[in-house]
Amino acid sequence: MRHGKLPILSSLLMIAAMSLAACGSGSPNGASTITLYNGQHEQTTAMLVSAFEKQTGIKVNVRTAGEDVLGNQIVQEGSSSPADVFYAENTPVLENLREKGLLAQVAPATLAAVPSRYNSPAGNWVGVSLRTTALVYNTAQLTAAQLPRTVLELAQPRWKGKLALAPSETDFQPLITAIALRDGTAAAESWLGGIKANSEIYPDNETVIAQVNNGQSAVGLIDHYYWYRLRDEVGQSGLHSALYYYTPGDLGALVNVSGATVLKSSSHQSDAQAFLAFLVSPTGQQIIAHSHSYEYPLRPGVSPAAVLPPLQTLHPAVLPLSSLGDGRAALELEQKLGLL
């Protein structure tokens, strides 16, 4: 999970006094409890849960773990799962559950709160926030002019021993899938083989960015928000790295979406749907926008943190989320090449 110190955002929680119409009128059964399987940022989710509970009177029992762990747990539990809501960091795990028939339909008003391209085409999950992949580089070792123009160049021999990578992170899989979709499976496998040969392998992206910042590696593949969180942790004097976005439209600047869903087996459908509505309500999206997550909110009219570049200026590659599938093909390639 993503850890880090959060600023005090009591002013955001006060926004929860707004009309309950933003996310429903509360539990129709009076005070009740729903269970949330949380694969997203733990601290930001805690803030969202606190505001939701105050606004609706519905209690939320949170179980936090990696989204892959929770997704597999839901599959194993099947119709007996205690989960009412699953909040995931990436869409492939949600698509896997949809394919298995484990997800309910999201309320149309909730889906309508964010642009349709960020939602499940089948209406089984709603997009909540997004981030883009990027390259972090050590500023003592490289200048921006020396960096690759495309993510595919990282497989070239000149990057041998310079790249930090966390292939077990689930947000790495959509990038593999995107390359396979555009260039074919053989090309994706060749690229993976090249970056494996060039990389030092680490267990997570927090380690990747720390190693780049301290000069152990020259560059690292990450999602953009890790750099902003590192900056908060070490301060300007401890910052020896910078963030680099690939050329417009390159797959190295791929958009990844975090989403949420209601389990079909939930016995608290109305309350679970109310939680999804809250995530994309103005209150929920403002909490996300001003949190330590540094992700982009998806609701129109809610601006991201001021330190983030406007998303439209980055021109990231936006593939239909349905085309990213359930991530199985990417996992198989990683396993074949010994990256997992």
Q: Domain ranges for the chain, please list them.
A: 10-130+257-308, 131-254+324-336
The whole-angstrom separation of Cα 238 and Cα 213 is 8
Closest CA to 148 of 159, 132, 164, 138: 159
pLDDT at 12: 42
Query: Topology of 10-130+257-308 in CATH?
Result: D-Maltodextrin-Binding Protein; domain 2 (3.40.190)
pLDDT at 324: 81
Strands (E) in the chain, as ranges, are: 33-38, 59-64, 85-88, 126-138, 163-165, 199-201, 219-223, 241-244, 255-262, 296-297
pLDDT at 325: 77
Closest CA to 131 of 311, 301, 330: 311
- Domain 10-130+257-308 and domain 131-254+324-336 have a common topology: yes
pLDDT at residue 30 tops 80: no
pLDDT at residue 286 tops 60: yes
Q: How far is CA 170 from CA 4, 39, 65, 69, 167, in A?
A: 19, 11, 13, 11, 8
pLDDT at residue 270 tops 50: yes
pLDDT at residue 1 tops 60: no
Report, as an integer, the average pLDDT of 333-340: 94
Q: Give percent of the chain above pLDDT 70.
A: 91
Query: Topology of 131-254+324-336 in CATH?
Result: D-Maltodextrin-Binding Protein; domain 2 (3.40.190)
Report, as an integer, the average pLDDT of 29-33: 70
What confidence tens digit (pLDDT) does each residue in 234-267 have?
999 999 999 999 888 888 888 899 999 999 999 9
**Which phi and psi (to 5°) does residue 320 adopt?**
-55, 130
By the 8 A CB rule, do 74 and 81 touch? yes
Q: Is the pTM of this model over 0.85?
A: yes
